Structure 1
Amino acid sequence: MIKTAFQTIILVIGFASCADQAEYQPLASEKVLTRLIGEEKSKSFVFQLVKDNEKPEWFELNKEGNKIVVKGNSQIALCRGAYDYLKQECNSIISWSGKKVKIPEDPPEVKRKVETPFQFRYYFNVVTHGYTTAYWNWERWEQEIDWMAVHGINMPLIGGAHEAILARVFEDLGLNKQEIDQYFSGPAHFPWNRMGNLNGWDGALPTSYFDEQVKLTHQMLNRMRALGMSPIVHAFAGFVPKGIKRIYPDEEVRELGWGGGLPLEHNAFILSPNSPLFVELGKRYIQEWEKEFGAGEYYLADSFNEMDVPLAADPVEAQKELTGFGKSVYQSIKEANTEATWVMQGWTFPYHKDQDGNLFWTPERLGALVSEVPDDKLLILDLANEYNHVFWKIDPSWKMYEGFFGKKWIYSFIPNMGGKVPLNGILDVYATIPELALNYEKKKNLVGFGFAPEGIENNEIIYELLSDIGWRNSKIDLDVWIEKYSVQRYGKFPDQLKQAFNELNESCFGTFTDHPMHRYQFRPYKKPEGVEDHATVHRSEKFEEAVGTFLSCSDELGASELFVFDAIELTVQYLGLVVDEKLLKFLDDEKNERPTELQEIMDILLVMDRLLATHPNHSLQRWVDFARNWGATSEEKDYYESNAKRLITTWGGDPVNDYSGRVWSGLIRDYYVPRWINYHSDQGTDKKQSMRDWEEKWITTPGVSTVEAYDDPLDIAYKMYAEYKKTK
């Protein structure tokens, strides 16, 4: 197990304990605070790290003189303690879209101790590292690690340079460059490559990629370890290049199938669970990883995420094979590191059903898969509790499997799919149902709480709420919490804002849609009769009222930058619904001979695009810049840009086309708008194929157009809302 120097000796450290201030070396947690709020503001705090490994993590806040003393038994506890003070006593906030931090000259009094009921506070989904972080640089990662620290997160799931290490193992095995290139996908699609959903899609990788990946992972791990985090990294789950049959012609290799709609040549392959090579490659992978990065603690390996398991037809033999798969994965980790823990995602257990709606992963099957793994050496990420509760309306997985058979497990949510932007999710569910698991008499080895969004930098209120839950053992009173959140974020909570949040909680934050998307984000033709309309963003009169009520607070709150950003998001979502309704009427006209009307609809989208140009997160240019910065040559830059664009548009095949559904400045004006116009002005005989050709050309053509943000986006937002509310 990895330990920092601070964990191996007893320490009680603060500014006042140093005889010579000039020689004082700041704690990692102090450096986090300084980076986030500045050196001057951070001087208001004194951090004292206390060795106390016998208790759950805790922090204690006291005012001594003109300083706030933060004591805690971990670096993350200290970070969370300082942020808790900033939030509760100073009404401050640190978010992805910005921060508001104000500390009075005479800091407010405080005296409290907070203890988390969870050993781990978990964060990230495997696919977050496609939908959001695929091309992040160290600067952006440093910001995110700081965000994690003050939000109390100590167990992030990261890519861990999986591809660079696996490539070394494959090369040592004797696979040639062509065979290896045919295995790895483009970087934005790595998560699905890692889970065995696909091989080689949108590759091959530039030769410089692996070196840069390793360098970045060193920076990330060094910082996470300094803060005492326990990162989860990928292990070997049995997936191999098809070319392995050249070296091992007698090896049993089974072909997998995933519903992503890719050509069959991109199917993945997995070794037989009975193969000694399975264990050998897994061991060699861990050894190579630890040779590069040092000992790991938690290794993620999922062999059958969202896929049919290639099992024998005989039920008895199938059970044995499931046991064999679980044993092989764990054994491959154990032989390389006896102290390490195998981590497994739990999403597929309630998700994977047959055509009749019956769960594939019955308690008997899952029990067989994990039966040969010691209870303390397997950690199950129970990812999607809101899906069980609201969407599927079935028992939570932790109840179906009775505390996951005594294995360690983490209670979690998936608040976002694909990085979609629309406001969505039942806030009261997030605030209240985690308590049910904490009080479940058969919960057994519940060790953590977390959230695993597929994409981040959206719906910020949800993540602030969830991070607070990680430090509580009871439900949150949502009304009280929202009032405090509003003061923290905007500075005030006037009656009109209270009404707006009540209306939001009765509309977009009172409903749960797994894939909220607008009609204008889908391919621009009418769905065949009987096919479900995919426009799924919440629509109601209550939401329309909520937007108007929120905007009515502009005179009082308009000086708040964060209020402006949130007002833009709400207005853009409302205008998107207006566009959806107009497009439906346009498509219902059988003649479709109203180009002027279509342009008028597109003009609304262009206003939305320009409104979003003010927002710091919802930008295609920002996404493209991250991708291009990974390239060392113009050719590499163009490749990375096309790979990044592909993920958020066509993705791969028709079933997942438009899945990511970003409402971004640049994507609206450069992709959604011209796609509608081109399709409906095309006089060809195969318009759908022409559209697919247009999409591919857009993906592979570098560049993003420019647009000038509005000088007063709030004024434009209010006028647009008023105009289209009046015309209804």
Structure 2
Amino acid sequence: SSAVWAMQAWSLREPIVKAVPKEDLLILDLNGAKCRKDSAFWGYSAIAGNLHNFGGRINLHGDLPLLASNQYATAAKRSPNIVGSGLFMESIEQNPVYYDLAFEMPLHRDSIDVEKWLADYARRRYGAVSQNAETAWTVYLLRSAYTRGTNGTEFSSIIAARPALDVKKSGPNAGFAIPYHPTDLIQAEALLLQDADKLGDSRPYRFDIIDIQRQIMSNLGQAIHKQAAKAFKEKDKTTFRLHSQRFLELLKDVDTLLRTRPEFNFDRWLTQARRWGTTPEEQDLYEKDATALFTIWGADKDPFIFDYGWKEWAGLIDGYYLKRWEKFYAMLEEHLDKGTEYSEQGLPLTHNREAFRANDFYSSLGDWELQYVSTPGKARTPITQGDEIETAQRMYRKYAALADEYYREGVQRDEVKEENRFENLGKK
């Protein structure tokens, strides 16, 4: 037979590998870690890969300098049996810049200048020459979301996280972190929006300004919730209400922002799922399954790896994530009003976060979550609504000002307001 076995490299066992003739086996090093070692895989043919996305989660990230270094060429020098490069993501509907470069690199024999490539990328992507766009990509985006070490599992989303005072994760994998200064994304968005008149006819431009603004707001949500949780612990009702209401308003605004585009859109997802059904019962089942995939991840009673496939998507935020946070903050406010205590200390955990039914509140929330999954007819019409540029500019002005307030400690104001970009944009 001319067939070749393909074997993932997660948990290789030497006796198993060597039981197969070399010409009959190809090893897939999904995240490329083993290919960075000398004499990898006992001389068996292997692919040096990147695992850039888990569960289709929406998060700006990706190590562009690593891609530009030409991982295949580097790995092949260490281990001549490395025969190619590959991508092994669980989804491919986010971070288009990452895949643009990843699929180009096999055409290069050596490393490339990533800044030069990004400057050209900005021109190609937007169909016009814009110094502001080039600076946004070559400086602020490259040193933030797309800097070194940003491959792999997405950091958690405060929006998609199951609510808690001390929120640990939004899924069963990586916890909360922002591996760059969040004001760098604000600077990138300011530069891109300044050339809206020049670049506004470009669909990729409209996609990017929405996506970057989404990440700005998601990052800021972490700081806002921390202040709400702090105020609750200090039994400061007024301050708790201020920050909790700001956080809920941010979620509503992110939903409004994302609804301008079809890509990050739960309403479109549900509508498409229902179209596969040939009877009303089948359509309802497909909608239930399409909802479970992003929420409870399949279990019908006591989900274990719930929110594995979390998404910052319009419709899912408004209908699911926002409602969870509203219920949680209402519960906390009731404790403040009654003067009673609420603590998460000692609650049972799963994947290092509160279990699905960790206490009475979470059990009640779980009942609601399961009901949401089973409820048909959730898709809103119209699926898309609003203009991307107008919406992004409006959200930018509002949340750049809030970011200045929440990031003030330890941040120089002239770093946040370089060349008064916030004020200049507000006058456009």
Q: Specify the TM-score bucket, using the shorter chain as the normaliser.
A: 0.7 to 0.9
Q: What is the CA–CA distance in structure 2 between the aligned matches of 1:646 and 1:340, rounded to whole Å?
A: 37
Question: Which of 6, 13, 17 is 1:370 aligned to?
Answer: 17
Deviation at 1:457, TM superposition (A): 0.9
CA contact under 8 A between 1:416 and 1:456: conserved in structure 2?
Answer: yes
Counterpart for residue 379 of structure 1 = 26
Q: What is the CA–CA distance in structure 2 between the aligned matches of 1:564 and 1:618, rounded to whole Å?
A: 13
Q: What is the CA–CA distance in structure 1 between the aligned matches of 2:189 and 2:37, rounded to whole Å?
A: 39
Task: Specify the code of the residue in structure 2 equivalent to 1:376.
Answer: E
Deviation at 1:433, TM superposition (A): 4.0
C-alpha change, 1:431 and 1:528, in structure 2 (3 Å) is closer
CA contact under 8 A between 1:380 and 1:410: conserved in structure 2?
Answer: yes
Q: TM-score, normalised by structure 2?
A: 0.77
Partner secondary structure for residue 521 of structure 1: coil
Q: What is the CA–CA distance in structure 1 between the aligned matches of 2:133 and 2:204, rounded to whole Å?
A: 14
Deviation at 1:662, TM superposition (A): 0.8
Partner secondary structure for residue 410 of structure 1: strand
CA contact under 8 A between 2:37 and 2:78: conserved in structure 1?
Answer: no
Residue 324 of structure 2 corresponds to residue 675 of structure 1: yes
Deviation at 1:608, TM superposition (A): 1.5
C-alpha change, 1:693 and 1:552, in structure 2 (3 Å) is same
C-alpha change, 1:711 and 1:617, in structure 2 (3 Å) is closer
C-alpha change, 1:482 and 1:528, in structure 2 (3 Å) is closer
Partner secondary structure for residue 520 of structure 1: coil
Counterpart for residue 247 of structure 2 = 601
CA contact under 8 A between 2:51 and 2:88: conserved in structure 1?
Answer: yes
Q: What is the CA–CA distance in structure 2 between the aligned matches of 1:344 and 1:627, rounded to whole Å?
A: 32
Q: What is the CA–CA distance in structure 1 between the aligned matches of 2:373 and 2:217, rounded to whole Å?
A: 26
Partner secondary structure for residue 716 of structure 1: helix
Residue 180 of structure 2 corresponds to residue 505 of structure 1: no
Counterpart for residue 534 of structure 1 = 175
Task: Specify the code of the residue in structure 2 equivalent to 1:477.
Answer: D
Q: 5+ residue gaps in structure 2?
A: 336-358, 406-428
Counterpart for residue 161 of structure 2 = 522
Counterpart for residue 102 of structure 2 = 466
Higher helix share: 2
Partner secondary structure for residue 380 of structure 2: coil
CA contact under 8 A between 2:69 and 2:112: conserved in structure 1?
Answer: yes
Question: Which of 460, 466, 489 is 2:125 aligned to?
Answer: 489
C-alpha change, 1:525 and 1:507, in structure 2 (3 Å) is same
Deviation at 1:525, TM superposition (A): 1.4
Q: Deviations over 1:419-473 (max 9, x none)?
A: 11111022111111414445415322x3322111111110001111111012222
Counterpart for residue 67 of structure 2 = 430
C-alpha change, 1:596 and 1:674, in structure 2 (3 Å) is farther
CA contact under 8 A between 1:378 and 1:407: conserved in structure 2?
Answer: yes
Residue 81 of structure 2 corresponds to residue 412 of structure 1: no
Q: What is the CA–CA distance in structure 1 between the aligned matches of 2:177 and 2:283, rounded to whole Å?
A: 35
Q: What is the CA–CA distance in structure 2 between the aligned matches of 1:427 and 1:376, rounded to whole Å?
A: 33
Task: Specify the code of the residue in structure 2 equivalent to 1:522.
Answer: A
CA contact under 8 A between 1:341 and 1:377: conserved in structure 2?
Answer: yes
Counterpart for residue 113 of structure 2 = 477
Q: What is the CA–CA distance in structure 2 between the aligned matches of 1:441 and 1:598, rounded to whole Å?
A: 53
Give the superposed CA RMSD.
2.6
Q: Deviations over 1:642-691 (max 9, x none)?
A: 22211211224666322222111111101111111123334698111111
Q: What is the CA–CA distance in structure 2 between the aligned matches of 1:433 and 1:450, rounded to whole Å?
A: 12
| Structure index of larger Rg | 1
Question: Which of 440, 443, 461 is 2:77 aligned to?
Answer: 440
Q: Choose between structure 1 and 2 for higher RCO, CA contacts under 8 A separated by at least 6 residues.
A: 2
Counterpart for residue 371 of structure 2 = 697
CA contact under 8 A between 1:437 and 1:443: conserved in structure 2?
Answer: no
Q: TM-score, normalised by structure 1?
A: 0.47
C-alpha change, 1:455 and 1:533, in structure 2 (3 Å) is closer
CA contact under 8 A between 2:70 and 2:111: conserved in structure 1?
Answer: yes
Q: What is the CA–CA distance in structure 2 between the aligned matches of 1:631 and 1:710, rounded to whole Å?
A: 26
Q: What is the CA–CA distance in structure 1 between the aligned matches of 2:178 and 2:306, rounded to whole Å?
A: 17
Residue 217 of structure 2 corresponds to residue 575 of structure 1: yes
CA contact under 8 A between 2:70 and 2:105: conserved in structure 1?
Answer: no
Q: Could you list the runs of 4 or more consecutive aligned residues of structure 1 that deviate by over 6 angstroms after TM superposition?
A: none
CA contact under 8 A between 2:72 and 2:84: conserved in structure 1?
Answer: no
C-alpha change, 1:592 and 1:523, in structure 2 (3 Å) is farther
Q: What is the CA–CA distance in structure 2 between the aligned matches of 1:485 and 1:403, rounded to whole Å?
A: 34
Q: What is the CA–CA distance in structure 1 between the aligned matches of 2:103 and 2:167, rounded to whole Å?
A: 43
Q: What is the CA–CA distance in structure 2 between the aligned matches of 1:707 and 1:632, rounded to whole Å?
A: 21
CA contact under 8 A between 2:60 and 2:95: conserved in structure 1?
Answer: yes
Task: Specify the code of the residue in structure 2 equivalent to 1:342.
Answer: W
Q: What is the CA–CA distance in structure 1 between the aligned matches of 2:288 and 2:276, rounded to whole Å?
A: 12
Question: Which of 375, 388, 402 is 1:713 aligned to?
Answer: 388
Counterpart for residue 649 of structure 1 = 295
Task: Specify the code of the residue in structure 2 equivalent to 1:557.
Answer: L
CA contact under 8 A between 2:143 and 2:180: conserved in structure 1?
Answer: no
Partner secondary structure for residue 440 of structure 1: helix
Q: What is the CA–CA distance in structure 2 between the aligned matches of 1:605 and 1:546, rounded to whole Å?
A: 22
How do 1:312-331 and structure 2 match up within 5 A?
none
Q: What is the CA–CA distance in structure 1 between the aligned matches of 2:67 and 2:304, rounded to whole Å?
A: 30
